[in-house]
Amino acid sequence: MNPIELSDRLGRWSSGRGPLPALLAARLRRLIDEGELPPGEVLPPDRALASALAVGRTTVVAAYDLLRQDGRLVRRQGSGTRVAGPESAGPRPTTSAPLFLHLLEPQDGVIPLACAAPDTPPPELAEAFAGIVPVLAATTGDIGYYPAGHPALLGAIADHYEHRGIRTRPEQLLVTNGGQQALSVLASALLAPGDQVIVEGPTYPGALEVFREQAAMLRCLPVGLPGLAAAARRHRIALAYVVSTFHNPTGAVLPAVARRELAQAASAAGVPLIDDEVPSDLAFPDVAVPPPIAAYSSDVISVGSLSKSVWGGWRIGWVRGPEPLIARLARLLAVHDLGGNAVAQMAAADLLPRLGDIVSRQAGTRQARHDHLRRDLARYLPDWDVPPVPGGQTLWVRLPRGDGTSFAQAALRHGVAVLPGSGLDISGASQACVRLHFLAPPEVLTEAVRRLADAWRSYWPPRVPATAPPAMSV
Q: Print burial letters for 434-459: b (CB count within 10 Å at least 16), e (below 16).
A: bbbbbbbeeeebbbbbbbbbbbbeeb
Q: What mean pLDDT, rounded, does the chain reach?
A: 90
At residue 416, the pLDDT reads 96
pLDDT at 106 over 80: no
Give the pLDDT score at 470: 52
Q: Please, which residues have CB within 8 angstroms of residue 161's CB and are 6 or more apart in sequence? A: 167, 168, 294, 320
CATH level 2 (architecture), domain 98-120+359-457: Alpha-Beta Complex (3.90)
In this predicted structure, the answer to whether residue 267 has a pLDDT above a threshold of 60 is yes
Kindly state the average pLDDT of the residues 328-344. 90
Kindly tell me if the per-residue pLDDT of 15 is higher than 90.
no
More confident residue, 69 or 355: 355
pLDDT in tens, 372-394: 999 999 999 999 999 999 999 99
pLDDT of residue 100: 55
pLDDT single digits (tens) 166-191: 999 999 999 999 999 999 999 999 99
- Asked which of 82-86, 185-189, 237-241, 294-298 is least confident by mean pLDDT, the reply is 82-86
What integer pLDDT is reported at residue 93 of this predicted model? Answer: 39
CATH architecture classification, 123-356: 3-Layer(aba) Sandwich (3.40)
Residue extents of the structural domains in the chain: 3-83, 98-120+359-457, 123-356
Task: Kindly report, residue by residue over 114-152, the tens digit of the pLDDT.
Answer: 988 888 999 999 999 999 999 999 999 889 899 999 999
- Note the pLDDT tens digit of each residue in 192-212: 888 999 999 999 999 999 998
Segments in 338-401 forming alpha helices (H) = 342-351, 355-380
**Residue count of the chain:** 474
Q: What pLDDT is stored for residue 472 in this prediction?
A: 63
* Fold match, 3-83 / 98-120+359-457: no
What is the architecture of the domain spanning 3-83? Orthogonal Bundle (1.10)
pLDDT band at 325 (very low <50, low <70, confident <90, very high): very high
CB atoms within 10 A of CB 402: 18
- Mean of the pLDDT values across residues 457-468? 74
CA–CA distance, 310 with 127 (Å, rounded to integer): 13
Identity of the residue numbered 268:
A
